[in-house]
Chain A
Amino acid sequence: MKSVRPGLPEFDYIRAETIEQVSELLKNGKPSRLLMGGTDVFVQMRDGAFSPAILVDVKHLPGMQSIQKTGNKGLRIGAAVDLNTLAGHPEVVKSFPLLAEAAQSVASYQLRSRATMGGNLCNASPAADTAPAALVLEAILVAQGSNGERRIPAHDFFTGPGQNALQDGEILTSIEIPPPPKGPVGRYLKLGRNAEGDLAIVGVAVLGYADKTSESGFRFRMALSSVAPTPIRVPTAEDILESRTIGDETISAAAQAARKTAKPIDDVRASAGYRSAMVEVHARRALHAVWTALGREA
């Protein structure tokens, strides 16, 4: 264990004002890294994970820090919106409380005043707390590169631990949340080692809503963090909840399906076996909470 973290290695900081400037900087061949809140970048640099020649600060690009309504009650969230702003934004709290809850669960207030949703997603940690929410809300990640704009569905964005679908020279500029289904209820349950805003051992996001076209009369979306190489959706659990009459038994079956889908590993925070067991417990609790909030009894 290192007792004292070294200072940051040398780099040139550049505050970018336009997308074109970023494209130019990324093309010049020098090892570079994009910067927003820096809460991942600086910690990883101090730990020696990488040492870029230039650090390109993209959080002041136009539109990066704003939240706007789109048609039909969707939202466009600038990639550099900080997590406190996100968690407290009236439109987010009203229409997408699940996302507010996920943002609020990250670390501490002072960390969240710098940490951004875009940085959380781009860092692509399996434990990223806003990722399960992005998955169940079926967010679209909007990227800009020298070839223009590319829209990447959240379920295609996470490609491995620390890996995302952005190509060289592309930057994430916003996250679009499509209009919510009617009367949705969402919950994000996070299990950490303590109440101090630790990274998740297991995170479960569930969104449920009534829908007459499904056999059970409801549709559910479930996503997990920290229990696979990337944050994942759980289609097997969703199918169970849509095809069987919902009650204790169906909820338990769906929670077991979540456990089967999870591919957890051992790490400093928990063993694979414990994670597996906790996926089931937390999936069940999240489903019960959503089911109750939909006004039903299990």
Chain B
Amino acid sequence: MATHKISLTVNGVLEQAEVPSNMVLLTLLRERLGLTGAKNGCAAGECGACTVIMDGEPVNSCLVLAVEADGSEIVTVEGLSSESGLDPLQEAMIEVSGTQCGFCTPGVLISARAFLDRTPSPSEDEIKEALRGNLCRCTGYVRIVESVKIAAKGG
């Protein structure tokens, strides 16, 4: 099987890797780069646990080849916080206990971050629509939506 030398920016850091054709971005992030925030829930585009931002847009990293991400800029949940603290979304999640087992949380945070960046003052329906692709098996949707509302208002 062919391998490919790729380079991409992950959470602001330039990474280089040699990847087989059939490796998905999720595997590259988790198993090569040690970024285990994004989760493998279904490997089929359904649950959103693997959501990362690629060139500004959220994608299901289980359905993107690592080689397709060559040259791109990736943000994972590990990249949301900085020296100066957590992302307002993360603060809001903690405030309202928007996370239970936590499996869906990294994907939810990433989807919500990308959403707030394109829709700073959303309605509740818009929030729900934007998070349609993020399933929470603990079904804590009310508090997830609540935390997005709080973050949108500026925490």
**Which residues of A pack against B, CB within 8 Å?**
4-5, 7-15, 37-39, 42-43, 46, 55, 57, 84, 107-111, 113-114, 195-197
B1 touches A10 (CB 8 A): yes
Q: Tell yes or no: B32 within 8 A of A by CB.
A: no
Closest chain B CB from A124 CB (angstroms): 19
Which 10 residue pairs of A and B lie closest in terms of their CB atoms, listed nearest first? Answer: A108-B133, A13-B21, A8-B22, A5-B43, A12-B2, A110-B58, A113-B57, A10-B1, A108-B132, A110-B133
B103-138 to A contact mask, C-beta < 8 Å, 1/0? 000000001000100000000000001101111000
Closest chain B CB from A17 CB (angstroms): 14
CA distance A84 to B132 in the complex (A): 14
Closest chain B CB from A60 CB (angstroms): 10
Closest chain B CB from A217 CB (angstroms): 37
Q: Tell yes or no: B148 within 8 A of A by CB.
A: no
The DSSP consensus for interface residues of chain B is: mixed
B64 touches A114 (CB 8 A): yes
Q: 28 A-B pairs, CB-CB below 8 angstroms?
A: A4-B43, A5-B42, A8-B24, A12-B1, A13-B21, A13-B68, A38-B63, A38-B65, A39-B45, A42-B62, A84-B57, A107-B132, A108-B132, A109-B111, A109-B129, A109-B133, A110-B48, A110-B57, A110-B58, A111-B45, A111-B60, A111-B63, A113-B58, A114-B59, A114-B60, A114-B63, A196-B132, A196-B135
- Which residue, A4, A55, A114, has most C-beta atoms of chain B within 10 A? A114
Closest chain A CB from B25 CB (angstroms): 11
Indicate which residue in B22, B57, B135 contacts A9 across the interface (CB closer than 8 Å).
B22
Known A10-B1, A195-B132, A197-B133; judge A113-B59 contact (CB<8 A).
yes
- 16 new A-B contacts, CB < 8 A, other than A5-B43, A8-B24, A108-B48, are A7-B22, A7-B27, A10-B1, A38-B63, A38-B64, A42-B24, A46-B43, A55-B21, A107-B45, A107-B133, A110-B48, A110-B57, A113-B58, A195-B132, A196-B133, A197-B133
A13 touches B65 (CB 8 A): yes
Q: Tell yes or no: B51 within 8 A of A by CB.
A: yes
Residues of B within 8 A of A7 (CB): 22, 24, 27
Q: Tell yes or no: B33 within 8 A of A by CB.
A: no
B22 touches A43 (CB 8 A): no
CA distance A198 to B111 in the complex (A): 18
Interface size class of B (residues with CB under 8 A): 20 to 34
CA distance A135 to B59 in the complex (A): 29
Closest chain B CB from A32 CB (angstroms): 13
Closest chain B CB from A96 CB (angstroms): 21
B132 touches A13 (CB 8 A): no
Q: Which of B60-76 contact A (CB under 8 A)?
A: 60, 62-65, 67-68
B21 touches A12 (CB 8 A): yes
Q: Tell yes or no: B153 within 8 A of A by CB.
A: no
B2 touches A110 (CB 8 A): no
Who on chain A is nearest to B55 by CB? A113
CA distance A10 to B23 in the complex (A): 9
CA distance A109 to B68 in the complex (A): 19
Q: Tell yes or no: B30 within 8 A of A by CB.
A: no
Q: Which of B69-96 contact A (CB under 8 A)?
A: none
